[in-house]
Amino acid sequence: MPPSSSSKNSRYHQQLTSIKIARPFTGGINAILSQIASFDLPSLQSLDISDQYSFPSHGLRQFSQKFPTLKSLICSHTRPDLVLIAECFPNLEEIDVSHISVSSDADLQVKALASGLKKLRKVDLTGNFILADSSVFTLCQNCVSLEELAVHETVSLSNIGIANAIRQRPQLRSLAVRGDNVTLEFIDALVSLKCLTCLHLSDSHISDEALCALADGVLQFRELSLRECSGYQYSGISCLLRNCNNLQYLDLQGTQFLNDECVIELSLLLANLKVVNLSENEELTVLSLFAIMRNCPLITEIRMEDTEVGKQKLQEDCLVVNYHLKFLYLAQNSWLDDGCVTMLASICPNLEMMDLSNCGRVSVGVVEVLGRCCKIQCMDLSHLECDLSHFQFRVNFEVPTLFVLNLSGLSISNEELSIISKNCFNLKELKLDHCYKITANGVKQVVKNCKQLRMISLYYCKKVSSDIVSWMVLARPSLRNIRAPRYTRHIADKRDHFLRHGCFVEWIPKVNSELTREASLGRFHDFT
């Protein structure tokens, strides 16, 4: 006999290791935490309550009585009570309190966290602008197991304060910080961290002398980020990279001096590189892209958004097929055209994700990607700026691997949408925001053909009535998230009814009128 549904659920509960509350959860989050506390979840280790409108103090107290050994808590973009967290979960090893709203006693709360959570290994305090040097010092002093610390986007901290703090924890493996004006004293503190393998600096001013001093420290970085950093030149970064033989992740977004010649030379030093971000470097062309693909044989992800890819043409005999590259982000490249996209599809046969959003000259090339890349799972084609009046987006072949598709802002018709849904029948997420031509008939074809659909976004689809939401919830039980075209009282009144069917419905608040509480709760922050 097949096992009963209750026994299946019981086995599932036994294996559940993490819970993430929908963000924002518009029901009673205190009540849902109390309800979770009534379940038998012996393997539960992680809870994520990010982006909530209110901090569920009562619910967390009840939750902690059942799960006092919780190891990971994520409550970013909330207004948490850090003292309560320290009292309720003394065994936490990881905590994310980034971008939180705290009162003037923020330092006291962080110090209470440091005193109560001595087992912490990983702490993220990113974006907490009124944090003091003394708080980070106390954290590093008290948490003897601390290995990863993130305090970037925290302008209130000083170089000297961070340097003094990290010297308390010589076993730190990962540090993310906004260094401001990076001094040699700060570099000395970094060099003292002999286990440091991941360094993320951002929006900092760092000299060639400082980078060379860091290179002399014989640190073997696996991850290095100098995103939006200034003050250094090619000699400084090349000096550092020559000493990083095992570097796997490199972020040089927004580097002021970077050009194709620099990237070609640096790529020869990066034999083990797997992920690189070269976005927002306006002098980089396809020459840099192919240098990375050719000289970094292990590369799996390349980001070159808002560059000049497509402006420079390459001879076909210079191209090398790369079987490792899986993720390619080329958004906002105004020179990128169909020829370049088709060429990329032919030499990157194992692509799983491609972002071509806001590219100025791409049209039929996207169909070539879907046809040639047999492992493609995700494509972002939102807001392609080319004239689509002469181009019909017809995918006349099956693409069973495609799970996520963003067509927002495209002038596609119901007929094209129907063809896409028939051949991309395994879609789980589909974004159609600002698609002004489609109607309810086109949406119904998607819901009927895509039997695994979990999320569909219809923001500002002017010809689609919000009345279709009720039909979608009943017609496709797999749906977990619907973004309705606009706010209507009909949707607000049925919000709880939709939740009982397992679907969270969001909507655009009414414009130029006073918002009801229900409408404001329907606002959407982010979906990942």
In 3D, which of 101, 104, 146, 152 has the Cα closest to residue 121? 146
The pLDDT of residue 441 is above 90: yes
**Amino acid 259: pLDDT:** 96
Q: Which residues contact 427 (CB under 8 A, 6 or more apart)?
A: 402, 403, 404, 405, 421, 446, 450, 452, 453
**Amino acid 152: pLDDT:** 85
In 3D, which of 469, 450, 355, 342 has the Cα closest to residue 403? 450
The pLDDT of residue 449 is above 70: yes
Report the 10 Å Cβ neighbour count for 104. Answer: 7
The pLDDT of residue 389 is above 60: no
Cβ atoms of 302 and 327 closer than 8 Å = yes
Q: Per residue in 268-306, pLDDT tens?
A: 999 999 999 999 999 999 999 999 999 999 999 999 999
| Mean pLDDT computed over 428-457 | 97
The reply to whether 59 falls in a domain is yes
Q: How many domains does the chain have?
A: 1
**Amino acid 393: pLDDT:** 77
Report the b/e string of 262-297 with b at 16+ CB within 10 A.
bbbebbebbeebbbbbbbbbebbbbbbbbbbbbbbe
Q: Is the dihedral of CA 72, 73, 76, 81 positive or negative?
A: negative
Report the 10 Å Cβ neighbour count for 210. Answer: 23
Percent of the chain exceeding pLDDT 70 equals 89
Cβ atoms of 61 and 88 closer than 8 Å = yes
**Amino acid 398: pLDDT:** 95
**Amino acid 15: pLDDT:** 82
User: Rg of the chain over CA atoms, in angstroms?
Assistant: 25
Taking the C-alpha atoms of residue 236 and residue 210, their distance in angstroms, rounded to an integer, is 8
The pLDDT of residue 157 is above 70: yes
Q: How many residues does the chain have?
A: 528
The reply to whether 11 falls in a domain is yes
Bond from prior residue into 56 cis (ω within 30 degrees of 0): no
The reply to whether 237 falls in a domain is no
Taking the C-alpha atoms of residue 465 and residue 468, their distance in angstroms, rounded to an integer, is 6
Q: Which of the pair, 518 or 15, is modelled with greater confidence?
A: 15
Tokens at 270, concatenated: 């990066």
| Mean pLDDT computed over 492-503 | 87
In 3D, which of 455, 410, 417, 415 has the Cα closest to residue 434? 410
| Mean pLDDT computed over 185-213 | 94
| Mean pLDDT computed over 488-497 | 84
Cβ atoms of 300 and 275 closer than 8 Å = yes
Tokens at 347, concatenated: 């030499």
The reply to whether 71 falls in a domain is yes
Tokens at 59, concatenated: 């619910």
The reply to whether 343 falls in a domain is no
512: which DSSP letter? S
Taking the C-alpha atoms of residue 352 and residue 264, their distance in angstroms, rounded to an integer, is 25
Q: Per residue in 197-206, pLDDT tens?
A: 999 998 899 9
Q: Which of the pair, 180 or 138, is modelled with greater confidence?
A: 138
Q: Which of the pair, 180 or 362, is modelled with greater confidence?
A: 362
**Amino acid 102: pLDDT:** 62
The reply to whether 33 falls in a domain is yes
Taking the C-alpha atoms of residue 348 and residue 110, their distance in angstroms, rounded to an integer, is 47
The pLDDT of residue 524 is above 50: no
> How much of the chain is helix, strand and coil, in % rounded to 5?
35, 15, 55
**Amino acid 111: pLDDT:** 84
Residue by residue, DSSP assigns 413-472 as -HHHHHHHHHHSTT-SEEE-TT--S--HHHHHHHHHH-TT--EEE-TT-TTS-TTHHHHH
Measured at the CA of 90, the angle between CA 88 and CA 96, to 5 degrees, comes to: 85
Domain containing 36 — which CATH number? 3.80.10.10
Taking the C-alpha atoms of residue 244 and residue 313, their distance in angstroms, rounded to an integer, is 32
| Mean pLDDT computed over 48-62 | 91
Instruction: State which amino acid sits at residue 247.
Output: L
Taking the C-alpha atoms of residue 54 and residue 113, their distance in angstroms, rounded to an integer, is 20
The pLDDT of residue 46 is above 60: yes
Q: 359 by DSSP, 3-state: which?
A: coil
Q: Per residue in 4-32, pLDDT tens?
A: 445 545 555 678 899 998 766 656 789 88
Question: What's the whole-number average pLDDT of the chain?
Answer: 88
The reply to whether 48 falls in a domain is yes
In 3D, which of 197, 266, 198 has the Cα closest to residue 232? 266
| Domain boundaries, position 73 | 1-129
Q: Per residue in 298-328, pLDDT tens?
A: 999 999 999 999 988 776 666 789 999 999 9
Q: Which residues contact 88 (CB under 8 A, 6 or more apart)?
A: 60, 61, 63, 64, 68
Cβ atoms of 305 and 330 closer than 8 Å = yes
The reply to whether 458 falls in a domain is no
* Bridge partners, residue 337, by sequence: 361
